[in-house]
A and B are shown apart, each in its own frame.
Chain A
Amino acid sequence: MSAPLVEVSSISRSYGMRAGMFGRSMAVHAVDGVSLAIRKGETLGLVGESGSGKSTTGRIVLGLEPPDRGEVRFGGKPMAMPGTPAWRAQRAQMQMIFQDPLGALDRRLPVATQIREPLDIHGLGEPAGREERVRELLRAVELTPAHGGRYPGALSGGQRQRIVLARALATKPDFLVCDEPVSALDVSIQAQVVNLLADLQAQLGLTLLFISHDLRVVRQISNVVAVMYLGRIVELGSADDLFARPEHPYTQALVSASPAPGRRSAGRIVLAGDPPNPAARPQGCAFHPRCPHAIARCGSEVPALSAVGGDRQVACHLVTGPQAETRDAA
């Protein structure tokens, strides 16, 4: 087992928000005490619904914004101060892919020019050799050099996401943060990009933080999965095990809510209530107002993420150890 490439220790981030034009400013805790470790060459999947803080976590891990508290270590070293040369060197080793490839590309530049840009910025390779590197990158994402001369508007959604991927790989990064990279794609194209990402990861030994609301895609690509709810991790475990035997009531509802062909909706856990509002986080366990198993303690005391046997960690007062199954029997 190798040492973690990325180590996140209890990071928190809150934003000021005003209720109405003259309202009082209040703090919205987008991320609240999140700790993660991603081993080299592995993928950590981060799942959760909108407002759970998964994208903010991704941005902090990448150093796109500083955490209020806590620390991110990359390759054993703390993240450098933004804007310094050390930060630049570190940033070349880590890249990000977003959901909307058209928004991430410049519509007025041929895509080859855009793939070349990080090479020029970071001064990688001889200028003369950069053209060849661009062609190599295009082939790596299963496009042809001819695609390089096109503009983003002349490419399909799947091809655009490949271009974004090629550009992200230009600096030979060790670490990629993928924020909903396939959510905007049709299912057949989604499968192409997921396969490509898995192939590139195997070839290049990439470490991935894969953020998505789609449990199926996350399971397909991840070794370890963390489930977030209102800024906190509520469950963490190996991908197969976590989806096969979810312990936290929220994870159970999420897995149950994922529709499956060939299965009728009988036995589905349908949660009552609205999606959580990060600006009005409930006292105690943030999930307790929607939780079918909540007890009095859940409304007052925040459950800590703790090991419950195997490599599983759960933040729930009712899941306390390997004997947690008794809860279902009761």
Chain B
Amino acid sequence: MTLITSKRHRGAHDAGPSGWFVAPALVFFVIFAVVPLVGVIALSLANWNGIGAITWAGFANWAKVLVDPVTGNALVVTAKIMVFSYIVQAPISILLGAFVAGKQRYRALLAVFYFIPLLLSSAAVAIAFKALLDPNFGLGAGLGIPALAQDWLGNPDLVLFVVIFVIAWQFVPFHTLIYQGAVRQIPASMYEAARLDGAGTIAQFFHITLPQLKYTIITSSTLMVVGSLTYFDLIFILTAGGPGYSTRLLPLHMYLTGFRSNDMGAAAALGVILVVIGLLLALMLQRLGGKDRSANQTEGA
């Protein structure tokens, strides 16, 4: 079999490295990711308060979770945050990426500051914004503009937009960095040709930069959309899901159900829903991206 596969074969047998090289990674992944994945399905069929005995519950958790209006609300909040934060983040990241890809000195200097949020933990970001958005001792009071001295985190009509803004503040830098790298890989000759044809900056952006970024846009979008299922810590500290249930997105709802209300069975059922959404999204984006991505990977190198 090995003889057939290697064409430039010069006498040595190469069966490829043994599967044992994969074993350590596989063991870790199976024990702490695959087993929990099965476990979350099993626990969704059980009663457990986190400490005591585990008993069979059948589909009681599912019946409870699926009719609970809080679950429906959590799904809506999750979808809103996913869609709005994508609409905000994607254009800003692309524009900033193209901006800092330029060679001007001042842009390089600005970029140094742009990337600072990359270093901060969600906990740090949430705590900083909580203080900054305080109506009495924060931004609004500092600038003396009453419109900015709102109870940003206590107003159910505003809080979702605040959360989306803070998410953008934290995650745009990473995507900017991805786009910066991608824009720099676009051959300069393409821009020269466009300039000779009289294309302005804006025309160059839409006819060269944007089409050339196609695959990067897919990668970045996948990370953004799937990533929005993980904005747990930021929102947990910033609003704890409140006021009321207005920012209680699915992962947070699951955590609070399991570890605050001690209903691990119901939390596991919510976990299953989360897994299914994650898989569906990834599958959908994969379809959207098409199968030519491997071809692009060598081209861009």
Question: Does A associate with B in a complex?
Answer: no
B residues sitting closer than 8 Å to A (CB atoms) are none
